[in-house]
Chain A
Amino acid sequence: DTEVTQTPKHLVMGMTNKKSLKCEQHMGHRAMYWYKQKAKKPPELMFVYSYEKLSINESVPSRFSPECPNSSLLNLHLHALQPEDSALYLCASSQEPGRLNSPLHFGNGTRLTVT
């Protein structure tokens, strides 16, 4: 079982809905990440939080809004999404960003479908 827990596992939402994805880790990691993965493609980085502060935003549209309430939790708030936003959204954590020998620990993702 993964040590990074994501909820929900599946989400179907309309283009006018507001929903949130949640991610939790209790490994004491100080870096947390959101990735988006389309079918048969590698994960694409969206956001990086380092010590609960947003350090990287890879030019993600404002309809995606990340939040890091504390060192163990990471949320992704969704509003007014488009059908092309349908994808697997992966949360990951690591001891510290960029640290040698610190692998990313991924959750199992939320499969998002926008109708």
Chain B
Amino acid sequence: KNQVEQSPQSLIILEGKNCTLQCNYTVSPFSNLRWYKQDTGRGPVSLTIMTFSENTKSNGRYTATLDADTKQSSLHITASQLSDSASYICVVSALGSYIPTFGRGTSLIVHP
């Protein structure tokens, strides 16, 4: 069964600090992995998308890594801002599948 596990479930950090969110998956055969940011009451917004040949991808202060051998990904947020407070969802797709597998998300709260 395809599964995506995210940790931690929730995280509170101070503004300006860095943090790392984790995603482990068992989706096979692997096609791609995406990180989404979802603000409260809004739809998810894509941050990064990575295929099996990509190890690192950055989008501003967000850097995603992928280890296809261990089936792990991380999302590193640098110099956090109050606007980073949101749910971060890891989504993994299998080759040829219309239906990506969603993680349950990490709820990040950034305090001033």
Residues of A within 8 A of B (CB): 2, 4, 6, 31, 40-43, 45, 48, 50, 55-56, 58, 88, 90, 92, 97-98, 100-101, 103-109, 111
Query: A41 and B46 in contact (CB under 8 A), knowing A56-B99, A111-B41?
Result: no
Contact code string B39-73 (vs A, CB < 8 Å = 1, else 0)? 00111111001010000000000000000000000
Is B104 in contact with A100, judged by CB distance below 8 angstroms? no
Distance in angstroms between the alpha carbons of A111 and B104 in the assembled complex: 20
Bin chain B's interface residue count. 20 to 34
Kindly provide the distance from the CB of B22 to the nearest chain A CB, expressed in whole angstroms: 16
A/B interface sample: 12 pairs, CB < 8 A: A40-B107, A42-B89, A50-B98, A56-B98, A58-B99, A98-B31, A100-B32, A100-B51, A101-B32, A103-B46, A104-B91, A109-B42
Is A42 in contact with B105, judged by CB distance below 8 angstroms? yes
Distance in angstroms between the alpha carbons of A56 and B68 in the assembled complex: 28
Distance in angstroms between the alpha carbons of A30 and B49 in the assembled complex: 19
Tell me, yes or no, whether B24 is within 8 Å of chain A by CB.
no
Is B98 in contact with A43, judged by CB distance below 8 angstroms? no
Distance in angstroms between the alpha carbons of A18 and B111 in the assembled complex: 43
Task: List chain A residues, Cβ under 8 A from B34.
Answer: 103-104
Task: List chain B residues, Cβ under 8 A from A6.
Answer: 43
